[in-house]
Amino acid sequence: MRSRLFIPCVFFFLCLSVAASAGPSGKRKAWITMGVAAFRQAKAVAPELVSIEARQLRVAGASERVHAVVMDEAKLVEIVGAIHQRSGRRGGFMYHTSEAEARAALDRHRVSTPLRSYDIRRREVVEPMLATMQEKNIEATILALSAFTNRYYASPSGVEAAHWLLSAWRELAAGREDIVVAPVVHQAFPQPSVTLTIAGTDLADEHIVIGAHLDSILGIGMSKSAQAP
């Protein structure tokens, strides 16, 4: 393994670090960046949503127009629900702590920025690893996570789900000195993130980052049958 693998489990929306400020009206503002398709869906739910800047960016190897948007934070759950319902996926945007951070996100991913190409060439290593995967283990993980009332980032059961993941990853990493599993505590909400870091053998200044989220998109008190899978 040539680089350090850093796998965070990110909750509520991809890469959520909740922070907002109150405007003159007393409403808490949220700054987000989203692609053009998600922007149209969000605009249909919240017509007052304002694009403060839009640029053509490189996203997942392709060029896409991305908007930096300011909106009422109270609309976030409604918007993510609409995106999930209309496109069959959750998230679809990045949450930022300020207008400056949202604009900076657009700067970091301009089309002019070259992308580094990575090839998977170790077939003799990858294929035996894939052969060890067992359907029953995947099913057990799904059943364990779906057993929580919901996994909402602000709910007690959402916190419990994160702690379950932390314990499960620590069990998997037992005996591996090159693996560190740790919680990441957030000041703005109770559900911690969980990180699993695997140290590589060289290129210590490089990282491969894979992100995912543990929470469901619905709020406190909603039933298991209604929550996101």
- CATH number of the domain residue 91 falls in: 3.30.70
Q: Which residues pair with 21 in a beta bridge?
A: 29
The closest alpha carbon to 178, from 198, 196, 205, belongs to: 198
Residue 129 has pLDDT above 80, yes or no: yes
Tokens representing residue 22 in the block: 């109150």
Tally of domains within the chain: 2
Give the tens place of pLDDT for each residue, 137-194: 999 999 998 899 888 888 999 999 999 999 999 999 999 999 999 999 988 889 999 9
Q: So what's the pLDDT on residue 88?
A: 55
What pLDDT is attached to residue 27?
A: 72
Are both 93 and 149 inside the same structural domain?
no
206 is in which domain, residue-wise? Answer: 4-12+124-226
Rounded to whole angstroms, the Cα distance separating 65 from 36 reads 6
| Cβ atoms of residues 173 and 179 within 8 Å | yes
Residue 134 located in a structural domain: yes
Q: Which residues face 131 on adjacent strands? A: none
Q: Specify the higher pLDDT residue, 119 or 33.
A: 33
Q: Are 83 and 41 in contact (CB under 8 A)?
A: yes
CA distances 105 to 32, 101, 121, Å, are 10, 6, 32
The band of 22, judged by pLDDT with boundaries at 50, 70 and 90, is very low
Q: Is 131 in the same domain as 78?
A: no
Q: Which residues of 41-73 are buried (b: 16+ CB within 10 A; e: fewer)?
A: bbbeebeebeeeeebebbeeeeeeebbbbbbbb
Distance CA 67, CA 209 (A): 24
Q: Do residues 131 and 167 both lie within one domain?
A: yes
Question: Does residue 82 register a pLDDT over 50?
Answer: yes
Half-sphere exposure of 17 (CA within 13 A, CB side): 8
98, 175: one domain? no
Q: Is 113 domain-assigned? A: no
From 54, 74, 108, the end of a domain falls on 108
Q: What is the CATH number of the domain that holds 202?
A: 3.40.630.10
Judgement on whether residues 149 and 100 belong to the same structural domain of the protein: no
Locate 95 and state its tokens.
């949450």
| Most confident of the following: 36-50, 51-65, 210-224 | 36-50
The answer to whether residues 27 and 8 belong to one domain is no
Is 128 part of any domain?
yes
The span from the CA of 162 to the CA of 216, in Å, is: 12
pLDDT, residue 114, reads 47
